[in-house]
Amino acid sequence: MQNHEIDYKLHGEEMQCVEIELDPQEAVIAEPGSFMMMTDGIQMQTLFGDGNQTGFMGKLFSAGKRLLTGENLFMTVYTNVSAQKRQVSFAAPYAGKIIPMDLSHLGGKIVCQKDSFLCAAKGVSVDIEFQKKLGTGLFGGEGFIMQKLEGDGMAFVHSGGHVIEKQLLPGEILKVDTGCIVAFTSDVDYDIQFVGGIKNTLFGGEGMFYAVLRGPGKVWIQTLPISRLAGRILAYGTGARKEEGSILGGLGNLLDGDR
């Protein structure tokens, strides 16, 4: 095994965190801003990229690719420098589920949405995954530039809302909203398909394209992508409020302090 072998425990239901237990000299990498707490004896170090690159140009190139996925230039490494086991915990940035993935049991590679990675064992490579098909590149939206996690250690990604796992059989097809994809194994074929129909396109409210996942392989689907949640909050905060059946109408908003 090339990556550090870590133990973990998930806490919570809708607002989860993951507690990583590190043996002496074991380490875990995480996205900046995901840190929650740690016990004494763990050393924190900020690095360019995922810490697997050597040389200045390699580190710079890795950091530049992370910018393309909208991630931070840096990642943080937490190393247990004590002689006993120590713990460090990371929390998901919004309500949903944390998904533990043992890459050694998943073909050594997972492709995931660019904002879903939370943390992983030291040695796991965090890189970008371009979708090579022209249609996917032009119309893939959230699913065009994705992240790939490679190695043989544990990795953790987070989803919005509830997560559904599906094992696709060879040739089996699953059509999904591009924002609802959390991750899939490398043997899954990913493409974009036009919804079709003038009424569907103009009035369906689901966009012009959806993702097509073809088996064999495993996929993880989230019920509430952060883009959809943010859009609803923005619409609610900036648009005219529906009065929700109140006989007071706008006067009710004035009385409850919303205006």
Domain ranges of the chain: 7-161
Q: Judge contact between 73 and 63, C-beta under 8 A.
A: yes
Determine the pLDDT at residue 80. 97
Is this structure's pTM higher than 0.85?
no
CA pair distance 241, 77, nearest whole angstrom:
45
Amino acid residing at 70: G
- What pLDDT was estimated at residue 58? 59
Element (H, E) at 250: helix 250-255
Which residue carries 């369906």 as its tokens? 204
Provide the pairing of β-strand 74-80 with 27-30.
Answer: antiparallel
Is domain 7-161 classified as CATH 3.60.160.10?
yes
* Euclidean distance between CA atoms 172 and 122, whole angstroms: 35
Reading the chain (259 residues) residue by residue, the pLDDT tens digits are: 678 889 999 999 888 999 999 999 999 999 888 999 999 999 999 887 656 655 566 556 655 655 665 566 778 999 999 999 999 999 988 889 999 999 999 999 999 987 889 999 999 988 888 665 544 444 444 445 788 999 999 999 999 999 999 999 999 999 998 889 999 999 999 888 776 555 544 444 455 678 899 999 999 999 988 777 777 777 777 655 554 544 445 544 544 445 4
> What's the rounded Cα separation, in Å, for the pair 198 and 206?
13
Q: Which of 62, 98, 77, 65 is nearest to 31 (CA)?
A: 77
